[in-house]
Amino acid sequence: MPDTHNPQPSSLPAPTPPHHAGPAGHPAAPAESAPTAPPPKNRTFQLAATAAVLVIVMCLGAYALAKLAKHRTSARFESVTGAFGWTLGEPLKSSKYNIEETDGYKRISYTAEDDPTIAPFDKMEVRATSQGKIYAICAEMSHKDDFAAKVAALLEHMKDKYGPALTNAVTESYTDNVFGGKEVNVHVVQQWNELAVVYQIESVGQAMNEQTPKKVLKDQFKHL
| pLDDT digits 0-9 by tens, 77-109 | 999 999 999 999 999 999 999 999 987 899 999
Do residues 109 and 223 touch, judged by C-beta distance below 8 A?
Answer: yes
Q: What parts of the chain have a pLDDT lower than 70?
A: 1-75, 209-224
Residue 116 Ramachandran class (φ > 0 left, ψ -120 to 50 alpha, else beta): alpha
- pLDDT of res. 222: 46
Dihedral sign of CA atoms 201, 78, 144, 173 in order: negative
Cβ proximity of 192 and 214 under 8 Å: no
Q: Say what the pLDDT of residue 212 is.
A: 44
The residue among 112, 171, 164, 169 whose CA lies nearest residue 142 is: 112
- Going by C-beta distance under 8 Å and a sequence separation of 6 or more, which residues neighbour residue 88? 80, 81, 82, 134, 135, 136, 137, 184, 199, 200, 201
